[in-house]
Structure 1
Amino acid sequence: MCKETTEPPMKRQRNRDYHAADYPDFTPNVSPKEMFQAGIFGGTYFRDIKIGSKWYRNAWKEFEPHGWFSGLDIAKNIACRDPVLSRNRYKAKCGQSLEQWLEKGWIKTDYDSHGWVHWYCRFFLGRRCEDDVRQISRWKACAGNKGRWKRNLIAKCVKAGKSFDDETVSPTVRQLLLHWGYQLTEPHFNEYKSLLEKGHKTSFIPQHEMRHVVKNKDTGDQTATPQAQDGRKEQNEARQERRRKRARN
Structure 2
Amino acid sequence: MPHTLKWFRPGRIIVVNDKMQQEYCYRLTALPGQRTEPRFTPQVSPAQMLAWGVFEGHYLNDCQEEFSAEWFARARQKLSPLRPDETKNCFGVKSRLPRGEWLKHGWILPFDPDPRG
TM-score by shorter chain over 0.5: yes
1:94 to 2:95 alignment: yes
Map 1:67-78 to 2 at 5 A.
Answer: 67-73=70-76, 77=79
Shift of 1:87: 0.8
Q: 2:82 maps to what in 1?
A: 81
SS of equivalent residue, structure 1 residue 34: helix
Structure that is richer in helix per residue? 1
Shift of 1:95: 3.5
Identity of aligned residues (%): 31
The 4+ residue runs of structure 1 with deviation greater than 6 A are 1-5
Q: 1:59 maps to what in 2?
A: 63
Aligned 8 A contact 2:51 2:75 in 1: yes
1:198-245 deviations in Å (ceiling 9; x for gaps): xxxxxxxxxxxxxxxxxxxxxxxxxxxxxxxxxxxxxxxxxxxxxxxx
> Whole-Å Cα distance in 1 between the matches of residues 60 and 32 of structure 2?
21
Alpha-carbon spacing, 1:8–1:71, altered in 2? closer, same or farther (3 Å)? closer
Aligned 8 A contact 1:2 1:111 in 2: no
Shift of 1:71: 4.1
Shift of 1:91: 1.4
Gaps of 5+ in 1: 11-19, 48-57, 116-249
Shift of 1:37: 0.9
Shift of 1:21: 5.9
SS of equivalent residue, structure 1 residue 89: coil
Map 1:39-50 to 2 at 5 A.
Answer: 39-47=53-61
Residue 8 of structure 1: which of 31, 56, 64 is its match? 31
> Whole-Å Cα distance in 1 between the matches of residues 112 and 31 of structure 2?
23
> Whole-Å Cα distance in 1 between the matches of residues 71 and 28 of structure 2?
23
> Which structure has the greater CA radius of gyration?
1
Alpha-carbon spacing, 1:3–1:60, altered in 2? closer, same or farther (3 Å)? closer
Residue 115 of structure 2: which of 113, 116, 137 is its match? 113
Map 1:126-165 to 2 at 5 A.
Answer: none
> Whole-Å Cα distance in 2 between the matches of residues 86 and 26 of structure 1?
30
Kindly provide the amino acid, as one letter, of the partner of residue 34 in structure 1: Q
Aligned 8 A contact 2:51 2:72 in 1: yes
Kindly provide the amino acid, as one letter, of the partner of residue 116 in structure 2: H
Shift of 1:93: 1.8
Kindly provide the amino acid, as one letter, of the partner of residue 101 in structure 1: W
Shift of 1:69: 0.7
How many residue pairs get matched? 93
Aligned 8 A contact 1:46 1:114 in 2: no
Instruction: Indicate the RMSD between aligned Cα atoms, in angstroms.
Output: 3.2
SS of equivalent residue, structure 1 residue 35: helix
- Structure number with the bigger relative contact order (C-alpha 8 A, sep ≥ 6) is 2
Gaps of 5+ in 2: 1-23
Alpha-carbon spacing, 1:94–1:73, altered in 2? closer, same or farther (3 Å)? closer
SS of equivalent residue, structure 2 residue 56: helix
> Whole-Å Cα distance in 1 between the matches of residues 112 and 35 of structure 2?
25
Alpha-carbon spacing, 1:84–1:3, altered in 2? closer, same or farther (3 Å)? closer
> Whole-Å Cα distance in 1 between the matches of residues 67 and 27 of structure 2?
17
